[in-house]
């Protein structure tokens, strides 16, 4: 006899988790959201007396119809950081304090919901994180309530595909504390990356400050922590459907790992995710000149990420 309730097949479990997280975010959005609109390229909060904040114009490619992308922004008020998530972060990265990049973990669920609600020419699944920046403008207390302003501010075409620009602002007492900007790529199916000459980097080998073996199990732990269940990080069959050779580690995992393992001071950090880091893989964190960090693998011949500290 067929049971009335069957356990979903493994390949659907991650999609179910992803949708579940986004549905939870949607309920939270309804609770915390203040209606916002983009008018004259400025973000106007209709339920607050706070000053207007400039939002850059969308750089729409000529290859996109004028109605295929609409900038969208929301403000979420009275949020509280999840204490258990903070502790899980500290355990996963073996650290005592939270780097400024932790903002992405607290805001990812809301950003994912915003991307779903926006009229994007691309789907959410398969988007590739290609750059991220974080700037601390005032000290942050994760024990205090905060507001978020989330914006999808632009879309443009490159030789690789469509690139979406997003922005996150964290406010406490109506003052901006953290600002973060991200670029997400929807890669063209026919894009072929050119061959690059590999060369052993002796200087990088001598300046490595941390090492780690990245595994699928580690990717699953980070997905649970961040809510980022994008299947390109977790399901090999779907990763191959979007042009990957195998599952790749989250770019933001690499960034967090790098920041908790450096003693260099900074107020702003910018990351470029250079080359997909397939799993499993051994990686090294390298401190370079001019306040730069990089993550290498394959005997220091492949660079997966470069950080610039300011």
Structural domain harbouring 276:
10-189+200-309
Q: Is residue 243 part of a domain?
A: yes
What is the model's pLDDT at position 149? 96
Residue 36's CATH number: 3.10.129.10
What is the model's pLDDT at position 192? 64
Count of CA atoms in the C-beta half-sphere (13 A) of 283: 27
CA angle 93, 252, 183 (to 5 degrees): 165
Q: Is residue 3 part of a domain?
A: no
Return the closest-CA partner of residue 267 out of 97, 139, 80. Answer: 139
Q: Is residue 294 part of a domain?
A: yes
pTM: 0.80
pLDDT of 134 > 60? The answer is yes
DSSP for residue 63: T
pLDDT of 35 > 50? The answer is no
What mean pLDDT comes out for the span 186-215? Answer: 72
pLDDT digits (tens, 9 = 90+) for 59-94: 334 444 445 566 789 999 999 999 999 999 999 999
| Angstrom distance (rounded) from CA 269 to CA 140 | 16
Q: Is residue 195 part of a domain?
A: no
| Angstrom distance (rounded) from CA 89 to CA 224 | 11
Q: Is residue 2 part of a domain?
A: no
In sequence order, the β-bridge partners of residue 248 are 278
The phi and psi torsions of 75 (rounded to 5 degrees) equal -125, 130
Q: Is residue 215 part of a domain?
A: yes
**Read out DSSP for 54-66?**
E-PPP---TTS-T
In sequence order, the β-bridge partners of residue 179 are 135, 169
Return the closest-CA partner of residue 308 out of 296, 285, 290, 295. Answer: 290
Whether the CB-CB separation of 74 and 36 falls below 8 Å is answered with yes
What mean pLDDT comes out for the span 241-269? Answer: 93
Q: Is residue 144 part of a domain?
A: yes
What is the model's pLDDT at position 159? 86
| Residue 180 CA, distance from chain mean position | 10
Helices (H), the chain: 10-32, 83-93, 103-117, 202-206, 216-226, 236-241, 251-260
What mean pLDDT comes out for the span 126-141? Answer: 94
- How many structural domains compose the chain? 1
């Amino acid at each position: 006899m067929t049971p009335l309730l069957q356990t979903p097949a493994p390949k659907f479990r991650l999609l179910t988790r992803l949708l579940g997280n986004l549905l939870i975010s949607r309920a939270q959005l309804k609770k915390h959201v203040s209606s916002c609109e983009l008018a004259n390229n400025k973000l106007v909060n209709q339920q607050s007396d706070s000053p207007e904040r400039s939002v850059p114009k969308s750089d729409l490619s000529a290859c996109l119809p004028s109605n295929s992308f609409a900038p969208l922004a929301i403000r979420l008020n009275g949020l509280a950081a999840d204490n258990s998530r903070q502790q899980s972060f500290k355990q996963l990265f073996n650290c005592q304090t939270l780097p400024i990049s932790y903002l992405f973990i607290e805001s990812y669920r809301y950003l994912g919901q915003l991307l779903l609600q926006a009229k994007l020419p691309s789907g959410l699944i398969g988007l590739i994180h290609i750059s991220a920046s974080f700037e601390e403008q005032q000290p942050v207390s994760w024990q205090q309530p905060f507001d978020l302003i989330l914006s999808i501010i632009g879309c443009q075409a490159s030789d690789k595909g469509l690139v979406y620009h997003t922005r996150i602002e964290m406010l406490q007492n109506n003052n901006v504390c953290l600002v973060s900007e991200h670029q997400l790529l929807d890669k063209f199916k026919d894009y072929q990356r050119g061959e690059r000459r590999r060369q052993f980097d002796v200087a990088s080998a001598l300046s490595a400050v941390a090492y780690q073996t990245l595994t699928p199990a580690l990717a699953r732990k980070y997905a649970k922590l961040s809510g980022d269940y994008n299947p390109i990080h977790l399901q090999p069959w779907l990763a191959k459907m979007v042009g990957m050779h195998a599952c790749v580690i989250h770019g933001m995992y690499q960034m967090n790992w790098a920041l908790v393992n450096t003693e260099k001071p900074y107020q702003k950090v910018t990351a470029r995710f250079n080359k997909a880091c397939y799993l499993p893989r051994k990686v090294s964190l390298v401190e370079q000149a001019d306040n730069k960090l990089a993550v290498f693998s394959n005997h220091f011949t492949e660079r997966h990420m470069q950080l610039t500290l300011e």
